[in-house]
Amino acid sequence: MNEPVDASPTAPPSAAELQWAGELLQTLRTEISRALIGQQAVVEQALIALGAAGHVLIEGVPGLGKTLLARALAACVNARFARIQFTADLMPSDVTGHALYNLREERFEIRRGPVFCHFLLADEINRAPAKTQAALLEVMQEGQVTIEGQSFALPPPFMTLATQNPIEHEGTYPLPEAQLDRFLLKIQIDYPSAAEEAALLRSVTGGRVGDKLDVSQVRTVADPEAVLNLQHIAARLRLDDAVLDYVVRLVAATRQTPGFAIGAGPRGGIALIRAARAQALLNDRDFVTPDDVKSIAKPALRHRLTLAAEYEMEGAQVDEVLEELLRRVAAPRM
Label residue 201 by pLDDT band (50, 70, 90). Answer: confident
Q: Are residues 172 and 303 in the same domain?
A: no
pLDDT given at position 67: 85
Residue 171, Ramachandran bin (φ over 0: left; ψ between -120 and 50: alpha; else beta): left
Report, as an integer, the average pLDDT of 112-132: 91
Domain with 310 in it: 238-334
Distance (Å, whole) CA 100 – CA 93: 11
299 against 165, higher pLDDT: 299
Report, as an integer, the average pLDDT of 147-171: 85
CB 270, CB 301: distance < 8 Å: no
pLDDT given at position 2: 54
pLDDT given at position 26: 95
Q: Are residues 41 and 190 in the same domain?
A: yes
In the DSSP assignment, the letter for residue 238 is B
Per the prediction, the chain carries an average pLDDT of 89
Q: Are residues 271 and 320 in the same domain?
A: yes
pLDDT given at position 70: 87
Residue 238, beta-bridge partner list:
287
Q: Are residues 92 and 198 in the same domain?
A: yes
Q: Are residues 45 and 184 in the same domain?
A: yes
Q: pLDDT over 90 for what percent of the chain?
A: 60
Q: Are residues 243 and 193 in the same domain?
A: no
Q: Are residues 202 and 243 in the same domain?
A: no
Whether residue 272 has pLDDT greater than 90:
yes
Taking only Cα atoms into account, the Rg of the chain, rounded to an integer number of angstroms, comes to 21
Residues, the chain:
334
Label residue 102 by pLDDT band (50, 70, 90). Answer: confident
Interior/surface letters 1-16, b for 16+ CB within 10 angstroms, e for the rest: eebbebeeeeeebbee
Whether residue 210 has pLDDT greater than 60:
no
CB 186, CB 57: distance < 8 Å: yes
Whether residue 305 has pLDDT greater than 60:
yes
The structural domain count of the chain equals 2
Inside any domain, residue 219? no
Mean pLDDT comparison of 45-54, 71-80, 194-203, 212-221, highest-scoring range: 45-54
Distance (Å, whole) CA 264 – CA 255: 7
